[in-house]
Amino acid sequence: MKFGLFYVLECPDHDYKRAYREMLEQIEFSEEMGFESVWLAEHHGSDYGSMPTSSIAAAAVAARTTKLRIGIAASILPFGLNPVKLAEEWAMVDNISGGRLDLGVGRGYQPREFEMLGLGGAMGDSRQIFKEYLEAMIGLWTNDTFSYHGKYVNFDNVDVRPKPVQQPHPPIFVAAISPETFSMVAEQGYNMLVTPTLMILPELIEFVVDAKRKLIAHGRDPLSLDFPMNWQIHVAESEQKALDNTNEAFLWYFDEVMKHVPQGANVPKTYERYGELAAAAQEMGGLTLDGLRQGGIVLLGTPQTAIDEIEKLRDEMGLQSLCCWMRMGGLEHEKVMSSIEQFGKHVIPAFKDRPNVVPKAIRESVTV
């Protein structure tokens, strides 16, 4: 199994200089502790996230590390100036990092971000815009010159410089939460980025297993299906310490994220799933740390707790890559560093050299 860190970089106190410095220190330390990747998220205009241009953060990480894969989770394609500019930008990051880029892409889900970028009217068409941008980027990377004509993207005979180091292009991962996006990804043959942040863990497992079935039916090797999962995690010497360390920061985060999820009577088309999740949270009377733990949305406890829970996911969904979301809600630097150390010393070695497995439900159906 492979383990990495994940950053949205929420900054409730608006001390962005400190937040960026601490993030880079944590990432450097994670490389020392045996983590293999870091994943960076793009967000705009709120305390929820502080990386509006994740390619800048990726270049900074490349300069401070030597081995870590640098993942983007995700580059919001409809927010890009155009796919030609995005193709150039991410190819540049791949070159600076020496071919360490893993490019996660998504279509965005926060209405306020679309509105502040002057794209409010495009939100309902974001799935088609996303599809055309991604097709255009891949075409630009894999051809000397390339033309594309779609509803939203049109250009002729373009030659981007530089081309990526990785050939034919950096690995592509698609951020997916709605069933429709899961299905689209399965049909196109991409790998996915997944998270239980806005759904309970059993539901996420069901979605992932279904997507893997579809990909296998399209001829994919079952063991090639690497769907990195972001998971809010904190480990400490005792379960009580893990709870005490994170209660305030984690509840702040989940309260904040619910402010930005599409909900209510005017949910844009193709975003209905988000509205359903928001309504379900309200019906539960709000979010509590106990409820989040019971739903498998967060993992809090000792290193052994983490080992046991990760082993279940490895068996049930064929988990191969786990992105540990440890710096959440502005959690204090020393607590994040301690969790990274505990995880690196005790959890990562427990999965060293363990073979990848096919999800249990798929194994059993093949056996029958």
Domains detected in the chain: 2-367 (3.20.20.30)
CA count, 13 A, side-chain hemisphere, 140: 29
CA count, 13 A, side-chain hemisphere, 111: 18
285 has pLDDT over 60: no
The CA-atom distances, in angstroms, between 12 and each of 99, 251, 330 are 34, 13, 6
What's the pLDDT score for residue 211? 85
Confidence bin at 292 (pLDDT 50/70/90)? confident
C-beta pairs of 79-85 under 8 Å, 24+ apart in sequence: 79/42, 79/44, 79/108, 79/113, 79/117, 79/119, 80/133, 82/153, 83/132, 83/133, 83/134, 83/136, 83/137, 83/140, 83/148, 83/153, 84/136, 84/140, 84/155, 84/158, 84/160
More confident position, 278 or 105:
105
288 has pLDDT over 70: yes
261, 246, 254: which is closest to 335 by C-alpha? 246
What's the pLDDT score for residue 260? 67
Mean pLDDT calculated for residue range 282-311: 85
Proportion of the chain above pLDDT 70, given as a percent: 89
For residue range 334-360, list pLDDT tens digits in order: 999 999 999 999 999 999 989 999 999
133 has pLDDT over 90: yes
**Average pLDDT value over all residues in the chain:** 90
Query: By the 8 A CB rule, do 33 and 349 touch?
Result: no
The pTM of this model reads 0.91
Proportion of the chain above pLDDT 90, given as a percent: 71
What's the pLDDT score for residue 367? 54
The CA-atom distances, in angstroms, between 159 and each of 86, 133, 232, 281, 367 are 13, 16, 41, 48, 50
The CA-atom distances, in angstroms, between 166 and each of 86, 91, 97, 132 are 16, 9, 11, 22
Mean pLDDT calculated for residue range 215-244: 94
